[in-house]
Structure 1
Amino acid sequence: MYSHILFPTDGSECADAALAHAIDHATRYDATLHVLYVADVREAGHVAPAVSTSRVRDALYDSGQEALDRVATEAEDAGVAVETTVTEGTPESEILEFAHRDEIDLVVMGTHGRSGLGRYIIGSVAERVVRGSPVPVLTVRHEQG
């Protein structure tokens, strides 16, 4: 049923909670798990206006690679084939483009990632992915506490 599963991550606890579901589905269907981290450089000027954009971009890429490495290790330990990608752009746009371009069959993601005022102003990436996805999207709610 599923050959290629997309797991977008921002390295948050909510994304980590969704990872078990992504690995379970990949194991169940013998699917490749495609792990995507989107470096959202739009926030670079707001986060550290005195720091150069290239330094912020590099830091985002480093954080992304760390998150991907952590997920890849967990997936490989479970016997799942995994491919990782760091890209730059708007998270929902990059996720949807990846799903179209790479023939993804299922997207598994957390219902929300990083928190803060930006989430309420910008809205939910997961919501926009659900609305625009050409394939099923499994959203996983993170139980805090």
Structure 2
Amino acid sequence: MHVLVPIDDSDPARDAVEHAVTTFPDATITALHVINPSMSMYRGDMAYNYERFIEIEQEKTDALFETAQTIADDHEITLETETIVGAPVRGIVDFAEEHDVDQIVLGSHGRSGVSRVLLGSVAEQVVRRATMPVTVVR
């Protein structure tokens, strides 16, 4: 069994990793972070060029994976990690389909405020678009 856990820097994402490693201890678990370049306009990062933006986001992603790995280590689970660049919903769903994922486990929300209103709920859209079961952790 292959379980995909999309993560960002939020409590629900950390809870999703915890849920995945405790619910599916024998599965291959992949933590996926989607770097979304379009978010830079909402965060005021437009002063950076694209390559620098990706580099900075990759550094942040490394910290996210360290946190996820710590959770997995606490349960003696091996965690695979992947990073992609693109729109979060499409990236998550496409990755799941291309890598024969059997289950997606994701946090109920990651972003808040203006970006959540503008972009809608990633979790809700993944539930609608994914062809495999999706567990949303609150």
Q: Give TM-score, length-normalised by structure 1.
A: 0.88
Query: 1:46: how far off?
Result: 3.6
Distance in 2 (alpha carbons) for counterparts of 1:89 and 1:50: 19
What does 1:100-119 correspond to in 2, within 5 Å?
100-119=97-116
- Number of equivalent positions: 137
CA contact (8 A) 2:103 2:134 kept: yes
- Alignment match, 1:140: 137
* In the alignment, structure 1 residue 89 sits paired with structure 2 residue 86: yes
Write out the 4+ residue segments of structure 1 that deviate beyond 6 Å after TM superposition: none
Distance in 2 (alpha carbons) for counterparts of 1:98 and 1:25: 21
* In the alignment, structure 1 residue 34 sits paired with structure 2 residue 30: yes
Query: 1:110: how far off?
Result: 0.6
Distance in 2 (alpha carbons) for counterparts of 1:50 and 1:90: 21
Distance in 2 (alpha carbons) for counterparts of 1:85 and 1:39: 11
* In the alignment, structure 1 residue 71 sits paired with structure 2 residue 68: yes
Distance in 1 (alpha carbons) for counterparts of 2:4 and 2:34: 13
Distance in 1 (alpha carbons) for counterparts of 2:127 and 2:78: 25
Q: Deviations over 1:62-99 (max 9, x none)?
A: 11121012212321331223210011001111110111
Distance in 1 (alpha carbons) for counterparts of 2:55 and 2:41: 14
CA contact (8 A) 1:26 1:80 kept: no
Structure 2 gaps of 5+ residues are: none
CA RMSD of aligned residues (A): 1.3
CA contact (8 A) 1:7 1:34 kept: yes
Structure 1 gaps of 5+ residues are: none
- Alignment match, 2:127: 130
Q: Deviations over 1:91-130 (max 9, x none)?
A: 1111101110111111100110021201111100001100
Query: 1:18: how far off?
Result: 1.9
Q: Give TM-score, length-normalised by structure 2.
A: 0.92
- Letter of the structure 2 residue corresponding to residue 39 of structure 1: I
CA contact (8 A) 1:18 1:110 kept: yes
Select the residue among 14, 20, 27 that pairs with 2:18: 20
- Letter of the structure 1 residue corresponding to residue 105 of structure 2: V
- Alignment match, 1:4: 2
